[in-house]
Amino acid sequence: MRSNRATMRAGVSMAATLPMIAGALALGIPAAHAADTPGRDALAGTKPAWATAKADKGATPDSSKVSARVYLAGRNASGLAAYAKAVSDPSSALYGKYLSAAQVQQRFGATTAQVSAVKSWLKSAGLKITGTTQHYVTVSGDVAAVEKAFSTSLHNYAKGSKTYRAPSKTASAPDSLSGAVLTVTGLDNAPHKANHDDTLPGPAAVFKNSGPFSSYYGSNIASTLPSAYGQKIPYAIEGYTGKQLRAAYGAGKYTGKGVRVAITDAYASPTIAFDAATYAKNHGDAGWKTSQLKQVLPSDYTHTGADECDASGWYGEETLDVEAVHAVAPDANVTYVGAASCMDDDLLDSLSKIVDSHLADIVSNSWGDIEANQTPDLAAAYDQVFQLGAVEGIGFYFSSGDNGDEVANTKVKQVDTPANSAWVTAVGGTSLAVGKGDKYLWETGWGTEKAALSADGKSWTAFPGAFTSGAGGGTSKTVNEPFYQKGVVPDALAKANSATGNRVVPDISAIADPNTGFKVGQTQTQSDGSESYSEYRIGGTSLASPVIAAVQALAQEARGGKAIGFANPSIYAKYGTKVYHDVTDKPTGTDLAVARVDFANGFDATNGLLTSVRSLGKDSSLSAVKGYDDVTGVGTPANGYVESFASPKGHH
């Protein structure tokens, strides 16, 4: 599986979908259980759903080469999950009793004996050990050696118009290893190819917004344009600043001082330090202090091409994440941890680096993929990292996606991953109205329908138009309902896919709609080929995630610097109190929309202007309603939210 950014520029999603594997098992640490062969433990989820008898093209040649990653389960996988839950739950006696990275490794990591046993099993099958970390062993070898090691045969299967290798039955490990192996990835070689659906150039080429704009919501009414929903509508926001967002989400006097926030994305913008400093200066944010922004980067990068991960397209993502965190929490220390590529193994390595060296207490992640592309083996590897983090007091925040219920994008109603993990905080999105004097007015769920101005300029064509983008949300098909959602999430959502209940996304939300978006500044390639700094408005749940991470940094400062850790039990414990804005789709009692004018070519008026109306609160089949909903979760932070973390037990 390859992961995608979740940014929205000009209302166009930069997320792409990947032809990957559907996983039908309950996600989480797969229990070791009997395989087809006596004396073996099955590694659940290693046979992809597309490897069917009908698609079978016969055995993969024995001489073909395979590279794989064998993840280690550690010495007490069930104990790890139990401790991660207890330490995160305000009603538990162990709440906040975090362990250091060294203690975690000592208590839950794989033992030297386990690592040796795993290596000697792999070697005895004829595989070459190419690397070892505290989380996995990498191997390479020919098909015959892989088949011997994992007691399965590798066949070629038709998948769409192509053919790929995959195990013909679930892989397994010897039961003499006593469950030391968590899972194995790399036995199948399904494609890792991005399909971008941008209609505008990525951030590598310049992008600029045309005016007219509103500086705050409603400051500039489009009086010469047709009405929408029976009233004249305002022009889209030019781009909110940190001052406006801090006021909207109750920052008060807190600045995130002494709190460490990490950001993960793929690759690294070569101009991030200059861009972030210029942006802060332009918008009245505190200047960056020496060593306040650090980067932890791999020694080399892979899959950089435009047809694979589109490396330069990730620069804008990093820029947004860094500038948004600093705008809301100007004194927080920010560590950017770039992955070698947009592939899962590399993103997992970035997350593991944060946990292994405890680089931060709060981690913002603005990337993901559709749940159908998640496989149980990878889900187990991700959940293990999230649980190790929870035990250390590290919380992971993931954007919920930019395609609403995903039907328009994939024809199937589904949520995004890793936001679907029961061990992360999934951040949904809103359209935000901040008025004159930085006053919070209201929010709707983020969901956009777009209609163009008619040729004669007197009406909107086929108003309100088609759905373009919106906050990801809904009910997981694979993850069971976590304890903290019980009693808060309505049964109609929790039990949409099974009688026993599943994880519902998101947990909390913040500004995401690019029509009420945030301004960022980035060095871009201008139309004449030169490179220079310029600014543009941006949105997506890629914005919501760093904004919530920054608000959590303020909350951690408010509790004297003590880590909040995995925040969901605390977030749900405060449900229904005044510390949240309860977001609904018609906060003023009527449908809402803004007018937007764009450059046809994305940067100047040479090719003309495009005028459109963008309706708010129209998120595919998802709705923001009173109480918990699958667009905005429990709501957005209000005055008092930041301070509510100061009492160590939270609210009950």
HEC letters along 94-151: CCCCCCCHHHHHHHHCCCHHHHHHHHHHHHHCCCEEEEECCCEEEEEEEHHHHHHHHC
**116 CB-contact burial (10 Å; exposed 0-12 / middle 13-18 / buried 19+):** exposed
Q: Examine the fold and report which residue of 185, 213, 231 is the final residue of a domain before the chain moves on.
A: 185
Task: State the chain's maximal CA–CA distance in angstroms.
Answer: 77
More reliable by pLDDT, 312 or 428 = 428
Sorting pLDDT into bands at 50, 70 and 90, what band is 9?
Answer: low
Residues 505 and 591 in one domain: yes
347 CA to centre of own chain: 11
Mean pLDDT of 550-577: 97
pLDDT above 60 for 12: no
Q: Which residue has the tokens 């920052």?
A: 251
User: Residue 652 has what pLDDT?
Assistant: 34
Question: How far apart (Å, rounded) are the C-alpha atoms in residues 442 and 410?
Answer: 31
Q: Specify whether 129 is located in the same domain as 266.
A: no
Question: Concatenated DSSP letters for 245-303?
Answer: HHHHTT-TT---TT-EEEEEEES--TTHHHHHHHHHHHTTPPPPPTTSEEEE--S----
Domain boundary residue, one of 138, 161, 185: 185
The pLDDT tens digits of the residues spanning 30-48 come to 334 455 678 999 998 888 8
Interval 42-67: pLDDT, tens: 998 888 888 899 999 999 999 899 99
Q: What pLDDT is stored for residue 8 in this prediction?
A: 59
pLDDT higher than 60, residue 3:
yes
E strands, 168-255, in order: 172-174, 181-185
Q: Look at residue 372 in the predicted model and tell me its pLDDT.
A: 86
Residue 197: per-residue pLDDT: 27
Burial class for 175, CB neighbours closer than 10 Å (0-12, 13-18, 19+)? middle
Judgement on whether residues 526 and 578 belong to the same structural domain of the protein: yes
Residues 126 and 222 in one domain: no
Q: How many domains does the chain have?
A: 2
Among 185, 218, 243, which residue terminates a domain?
A: 185
* Single-letter amino acid code for the residue at 567: A
Per-residue pLDDT at 196: 26
Say what the pLDDT of residue 289 is: 96
| pTM tops 0.85, yes or no | yes
Backbone angles phi, psi at 598, to 5 degrees: -125, 150
pLDDT for 297: 95
Tell me which H or E stretch contains 614.
strand 609-616
Question: Percent of the chain beyond pLDDT 90?
Answer: 82
- Both 221 and 114 in one domain: the answer is no
In whole angstroms, give the CA distance from residue 299 to residue 74: 27
- Evaluate whether 612 touches 459 at the Cβ level (below 8 Å): no
pLDDT band at 193 (very low <50, low <70, confident <90, very high): very low
Is 427 inside any structural domain?
A: yes
Q: Would residue 191 count as lying in a domain?
A: no
Q: Are 214 and 156 members of one domain?
A: no
Q: How far is Cα 475 from Cα 224, in angstroms, rounded to an integer?
A: 43
Give domain status of residue 95, yes or no. Answer: no
Residues 177 and 205 occupy one common structural domain: no
Enumerate helices (H) and strands (E) in the chain, giving the number of each. 14, 33
Q: What is the mean pLDDT of residues 223-234?
A: 98
Average pLDDT over residues 434-454: 98
CATH of the domain at 487: 3.40.50.200
Contact at 8 Å (CB) between 256 and 246? no
Asked if the model's pLDDT at residue 202 lies above 70, the reply is no
pLDDT band at 20 (very low <50, low <70, confident <90, very high): very low
Domain-located, residue 105 = no
Q: Answer yes or no: do 178 and 237 share one domain.
A: no
Mean pLDDT of 232-248: 97
Q: Which residues pair with 240 in a beta bridge?
A: 518
Of 452, 460, 450, the residue nearest 609 (C-alpha): 452
Please report whether residue 99 resides in a domain.
no
Tokens representing residue 491 in the block: 């049964």
pLDDT value of position 7: 60
Average pLDDT for 555-584:
97
Helix (H, G, I), strand (E, B) or coil at 382: helix
The whole domain housing 153 covers 33-75+110-185
Question: Residue 498 pLDDT > 80, yes or no?
Answer: yes
Does a structural domain hold residue 494?
yes
267 and 125 within one domain: no
Q: What number of residues does the chain have?
A: 652
Predicted confidence (pLDDT) at residue 17 exceeds the cutoff of 50: no
Residue 97 lies inside a defined structural domain of this protein:
no
291 burial level (CB within 10 Å; 0-12, 13-18, 19+): exposed
- Give residue-wise pLDDT tens across range 158-170: 988 889 999 999 9
Q: What end-to-end distance do the CA atoms of the chain give, in Å?
A: 39
Task: Clarify whether residues 176 and 271 are in a common domain.
Answer: no
Quick: pLDDT tens for 130-166: 999 999 999 999 999 999 999 999 999 998 888 999 9
For residue 273, give both structure tokens.
């330090």
Lowest mean pLDDT among 184-198, 235-249, 265-279, 630-644: 184-198
Tokens of 354: 């944060």
Cross-strand bridge partners of residue 430: 445, 511
CB-CB neighbours of 462 under 10 Å: 10
pLDDT tens-digit series, residues 280-319: 999 999 999 999 999 999 999 998 888 888 888 899 999 9
Residue 351 has pLDDT above 80, yes or no: yes
Instruction: Give, in order, the Cα–Cα distances in Å from 358 to each of 97, 98, 298.
Output: 15, 12, 17
Where is pLDDT greater, at 613 or 312?
613
Task: Based on the fold, state whether residues 332 and 227 are members of the same structural domain.
Answer: yes
Average pLDDT over residues 552-562: 97
Same structural domain, 535 and 617: yes
Q: Is residue 334 part of a domain?
A: yes
For the residues 410-428, what does the mean pLDDT come to? Answer: 96
Tens digit of each residue's pLDDT (9 = 90 or more) over 633-650: 999 999 999 999 997 543
CATH of the domain at 176: 3.30.70
Contact 606, 588 (CB under 8 A): no
